[in-house]
């Protein structure tokens, strides 16, 4: 096991190097750069751009140098914690992300916990009571949750909140705390607003997870070892929790590779609709404006979390399911 983990960590290095090169090239593919877009935008509004400042920034961040030189400058900076400069916000990337990163992690982690706490009992009940009225009802609700996009649900909730309660559910806090340093009152305001995006974002995730858990658990409940365990007189609940449920959790563990980057990226479209102060809208805006260092840093962080998540899921799967053995193909 330790040898396998060491080998996987070693292979992560060339994987991340290749990803960084692809990210840098893709961001550079569109014609022009941020400065050209910025000047064009100012001219369209009838304003004059400070060309001297723009030329100074271009020279400072190597835009007058070849593509390869700028790539190595960017990668070497990330290795020492310098993620570059955000031209859109006129601040270093580390300062731009700031509270948005922690707010995104808070929303995503609470959403994941909410999804799992809701999906587990519903999925288990639906599988153990197959074709019952409860199963049909939960399946119908789950289909609606899968079919309705999160941003549509967000728009509906915003409309109903304004009609029924006369209030706006946008933002993660009261407007008085926007762009203010963290305080106890601001934290309480965040908790008061947190349930809204968690409910909206978690709806589709819960519905999809229930369907997968039900399908996997039904497959395990029909296997011979479950029938044998019941025939030996074991309590049905003990049989369910000790054997088939454990085997049905494989897809939960394998999802870690996608859950970790989702914690940072969040539900971008829903965040835009609800005006959430998370990193998702910032990433989309950075890609649109070609703010390369901000966008590239986000994408590299997501890639790093994906690689780590896949490694963790592979190790956890081997510990959870004794049927999985590393290097089994070499011993056949």
One-letter-per-residue 3-state SS of 19-58: HHHHHHHHHHCCCCCHHHHHHHHHHHCCCCCCHHHHHHHH
Nearest to 114 by CA among 51, 196, 180: 196
* Cβ atoms 266, 279 nearer than 8 A: yes
pLDDT at residue 332, as a whole number: 47
Q: For 331, how many CA atoms within 13 A lie in the half-sphere containing its CB? A: 4
Spatial distance between the Cα atoms of 102 and 92, rounded to a whole number of angstroms: 17
pLDDT at residue 284, as a whole number: 83
pLDDT at residue 260, as a whole number: 66
CATH 1.50.10.150 fits 98-324, yes or no: no
Spatial distance between the Cα atoms of 83 and 301, rounded to a whole number of angstroms: 10
How far the first Cα of the chain sits from its last, in Å, is 19
Query: What does each C-alpha distance from 185 to 38, 171, 172, 174 come to in angstroms?
Result: 37, 15, 13, 10
Spatial distance between the Cα atoms of 59 and 69, rounded to a whole number of angstroms: 13
The number of helix segments (H) and strand segments (E) in the chain equals 16, 2
Give residue limits of the domains in the chain. Answer: 2-92, 98-324
| Helix or strand run (H / E) with residue 85 | strand 85-86
pLDDT at residue 18, as a whole number: 92
pLDDT at residue 257, as a whole number: 67
**Contacts with 162 (C-beta within 8 Å, 6 or more apart), sequence order:** 168
CA 129 to chain centre: 33
Q: What is the pTM of this model?
A: 0.75
Spatial distance between the Cα atoms of 151 and 204, rounded to a whole number of angstroms: 11
Q: Residue 222: phi, psi to the nearest 5?
A: -90, 0
Spatial distance between the Cα atoms of 249 and 168, rounded to a whole number of angstroms: 39
Spatial distance between the Cα atoms of 58 and 42, rounded to a whole number of angstroms: 18
List the chain residues with pLDDT less than 50: 328-332
**Contacts with 164 (C-beta within 8 Å, 6 or more apart), sequence order:** none
């Amino acid at each position: 096991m330790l040898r396998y983990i060491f080998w996987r960590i070693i292979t992560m290095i060339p994987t991340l190097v290749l990803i960084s090169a692809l990210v840098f090239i893709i961001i550079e593919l569109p014609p022009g750069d941020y400065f050209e877009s910025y000047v064009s935008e100012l001219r369209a509004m009838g304003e004059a751009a400070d060309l001297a400042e723009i030329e100074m920034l271009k020279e400072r961040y190597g835009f007058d140098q070849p593509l390869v030189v700028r790539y190595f400058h960017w990668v070497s900076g990330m290795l020492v914690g310098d993620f570059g400069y955000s031209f859109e916000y006129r601040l270093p990337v580390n300062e731009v992300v700031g509270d948005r990163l922690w707010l995104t992690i808070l929303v995503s982690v609470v959403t994941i916990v909410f999804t799992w706490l809701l999906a587990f009992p519903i999925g288990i009940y639906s599988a153990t009571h197959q074709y019952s009225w409860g199963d049909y009802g939960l399946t119908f609700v789950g289909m609606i949750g899968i079919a309705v996009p999160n941003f549509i649900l967000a728009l509906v909730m915003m409309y109903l909140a304004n009609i029924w309660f006369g209030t706006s559910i946008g933002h993660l806090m009261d407007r008085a705390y926007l762009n203010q340093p963290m305080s106890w009152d601001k934290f309480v305001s965040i908790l008061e607003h947190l349930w809204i995006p968690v409910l909206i974002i978690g709806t589709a995730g819960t519905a999809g997870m229930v369907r997968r858990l039900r399908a996997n658990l039904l497959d395990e409940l029909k296997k011979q070892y479950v029938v044998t365990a019941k025939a030996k007189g074991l309590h049905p609940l003990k049989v369910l929790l000790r054997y088939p449920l454990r085997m049905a959790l494989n897809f939960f563990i394998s999802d870690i590779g996608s859950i970790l980057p989702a914690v940072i990226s969040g539900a971008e479209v829903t965040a835009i609709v609800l005006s959430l102060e998370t990193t998702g809208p910032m990433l989309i805006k950075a890609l649109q404006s070609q703010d390369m260092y901000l966008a590239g840093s986000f994408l590299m962080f997501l890639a790093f979390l994906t690689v780590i998540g896949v490694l963790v899921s592979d190790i956890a799967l081997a510990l959870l399911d004794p049927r999985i053995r590393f290097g089994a193909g070499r011993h056949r």
